[in-house]
Amino acid sequence: MPLDIDSWLGDPEYRAALTLTGRSAFIFKKLAQADGSKLRAIIVALWRDKTKDLMEMTAFEWETILRFVGASQREIEDVRKQIGTAWGAYSHAEVVARTLALLDSRDWGPIDHRHLMNALSGYFVMNMTKPLPDTFGVWQRAFRRLETDRTFLEWIEGQEYADGTLGAWTQQALQGERTRSGRRPSDGA
């Protein structure tokens, strides 16, 4: 469920904050109000015991925090535009690789793991109609995580993709797994 960030960006307190630090602090305050436990969990995962100057946050950090706390892709893009920070030019593959690293880095609780998996599937879905990327190994690794998610698998099976796209490869990988094992990848999970 989206966080209703549109209303945050229209808030007089946000509008009065003319600096990147002021706007970032306002967004963090609202994220803490929306779900402080998720915000704390992802900050600990990203920064461990370090403190981070809001001016030094990378695009990956912003996007990961917003997505983990529950922002939709549109809301993330709105924050990107509104804060005015020079978010790095991270590709989706780089963000997916870092999300996978977070998943691999510690023993996540079931709720935190689910949110990271939702972020991972979100990036995957956003790229399904794009040509098979040069960073294909990252997507293969992500798919190995996602092939245990029944909802994702049911969704992907109902779609149609042009040859050469990430979506077409995903459907072929599912078909190949069924042929080899006689079942869906998620049946034994």
Domain final position from 83, 115, 139: 83
> What average pLDDT does range 43-68 have in this prediction?
79
Whether 49 and 124 share a structural domain: no
Whether 46 and 120 share a structural domain: no
Q: What confidence score (pLDDT) does residue 31 get?
A: 92
pTM for this one? 0.49
Angle at 145 between CA 142 and CA 80, to 5 degrees: 50
136 within some domain: yes
Whether 66 and 25 share a structural domain: yes
- Residue with the two structure tokens 């999300």: 99
Whether 140 and 76 share a structural domain: no
Q: What confidence score (pLDDT) does residue 81 get?
A: 75
Whether 98 and 116 share a structural domain: yes
Domain final position from 49, 83, 117: 83
Q: How far apart are CA 14 and CA 79, in angstroms?
A: 12
186 within some domain: no
* Most confident residue range from 2-11, 27-36, 54-63, 102-111: 27-36
- Among 36, 39, 93, which Cα is nearest to 62's? 39
- What does the mean pLDDT of the chain come to? 77
Whether 108 and 154 share a structural domain: yes
Which structural domain, as residue segments, surrounds residue 50? 5-83
Question: CA 113: distance to chain centroid?
Answer: 12
Whether 96 and 173 share a structural domain: yes
Whether 166 and 124 share a structural domain: yes
pLDDT tens for 155-177 read: 777 788 888 888 888 888 887 77
Whether 158 and 124 share a structural domain: yes
> What average pLDDT does range 129-157 have in this prediction?
79
189 within some domain: no
Q: Comparing 44-48, 88-92, 129-133, which segment has the lowest mean pLDDT?
A: 88-92
- Among 49, 13, 48, 16, which Cα is nearest to 29's? 13
> What average pLDDT does range 87-114 have in this prediction?
68
pLDDT tens for 16-42 read: 776 667 788 888 899 999 998 888 888
Whether 66 and 128 share a structural domain: no
Whether 15 and 73 share a structural domain: yes
Q: What confidence score (pLDDT) does residue 30 get?
A: 92
Q: How many domains does the chain have?
A: 2
Whether 104 and 171 share a structural domain: yes
